[in-house]
Structure 1
Amino acid sequence: MLNLAAVHHIAIICSDYPTSKHFYTDILGLTILGEVYRHERQSYKLDLALNGQYIIELFSFPSPQKRPSRPEALGLRHLAFAVHDLDAAVAQLNQQGVVTEPIRVDEQTGRRFTFFADPDDLPLELYEA
C-alpha cells in the first residue's frame, strides 16, 4: 500500500484568470502564496492557501478545452470546503452575487451542505463541520 501523507494541492484551470483570481481570493478568501506568469506557456500559475495551508494551484491557458463539470459528470465530482456556520457562509456568498443551491442535509452524517459554482461552473460545496 502507498503511504500517502496528505492531499498536497488541487489544480484548477480557469478560462478568465482575473475573474477566477478575484473569486478565489476576494470572495472565498484564499490567500496568495505566489503568482507567476510563465511566458513560454502564456499561462499564469497562482498558488493559493487556506488557513496557511497550500491547497489550490490556479492556472490560465490561452485556449483550454471544455470539460463537463456538473456534480454528476464523469471525473472530479466537486471540491468541498468545511465551514463552521453554513448560514453565514451562504449569506456572504449571496451578498457577493454567488448563487447557492438550497441547503441539504447529508443522510449519513446529519450535517448540512450546499453547492455553488466558480466562474467556470466548477461545482464547489460548503459542508458544515
Structure 2
Amino acid sequence: MVHRFLHVRYRVSNLEKALFYFVNFLGLKEVGRITSPRGSKLVFLQAPENGTLLELCEYPDSGKVIVPPDLTHLAFSVNDLEAARIKCKQMGWPFTDEIQKAENGQYFTFIDAPDGYEIELIQEDKKKE
C-alpha cells in the first residue's frame, strides 16, 4: 500500500518567522510555494540530503496555533552539535536541554522552534569525546 513518506505539515502563526528559522537557521531549502484553494499559504522545505518535505502552512482563519507538549518533534542530523549550540545562542534560539549522549553513542539535544514546535538535533558521528 504505502511506498514512500512524502511530507509533514506544521501549521504556523507567522510564515515569515517560521521560514527564517527553518531556512536561515536550520539550513533547509525552499522547494515550493503555493496558495491552497481555501487560502492557506504553503511553503515546502527540504533538508540538503533528504527527499522528505516539511510543509509550513499559514492559515489565520484556523485560529491560534496550539502545539501540545510532547506531541511531535522533528529530528535533524548535524555535523557538530557544539557549533549548532553556538549558532543557536547567537541567533536567540535556546536549547531546551543540554547536549546528551544516547546509549548508541550519538549526541543529541532539543531546541525550540516557532509556535512551540520542538526540534531534535542529532550528531550521528560518535567522535565528540
- TM-score by length of structure 1 reads 0.82
The aligned runs of 1:1-80 (5 Å cut-off) are 4-38=2-36, 40-51=37-48, 53-62=51-60, 63-71=62-70, 75-76=71-72, 78-80=73-75
- Letter of the structure 2 residue corresponding to residue 70 of structure 1: P
Distance 1:21 1:13 in 2: 12
The answer to whether the Cα contact below 8 Å between 2:9 and 2:57 also exists between their aligned partners in 1 is: yes
- Residue identity over aligned pairs, in percent, reads 27
Partner SS for 2:20:
helix
- SS in structure 1 opposite 2:115? coil
The alignment of Structure 1 onto Structure 2 pairs a total of residues equal to 121
2:81–2:121 contact (8 Å) kept in structure 1? yes
- The code of the aligned residue for 2:66 comes to R
**Counterpart contact for 2:11–2:65, Cα < 8 Å:** no
Q: Out of 6-15 and 114-123, give the one that drifted further.
A: 6-15
- AA matched with 1:48: L
Tell me how far apart the structure 1 counterparts of residues 12 and 113 of structure 2 sit (CA, whole Å). Answer: 9
SS at match of 1:42: coil
Q: Which amino acid aligns with 2:38?
A: R
Question: Quick one: distance in 2 between partners of 1:33 and 1:110?
Answer: 33
The answer as to whether partners of 1:12 and 1:57 remain within 8 angstroms in 2 is yes
Given the alignment, which residue of 118, 125, 128 partners 2:120?
A: 125
Deviation at 1:6, TM superposition (A): 4.0
TM-score after normalising by structure 2: 0.82
What are the superposed Cα offsets for residues 49-90 of structure 1, whole Å, 9 maximum, x if unpaired? Answer: 11163420110111345434323xxx43x1110112111111
Taking the aligned partners of 2:66 and 2:21, their CA distance within structure 1 comes to 20
Conserved 8 A contact 1:47-1:54 = no
How far apart are residue 98 of structure 1 and its match? 0.6
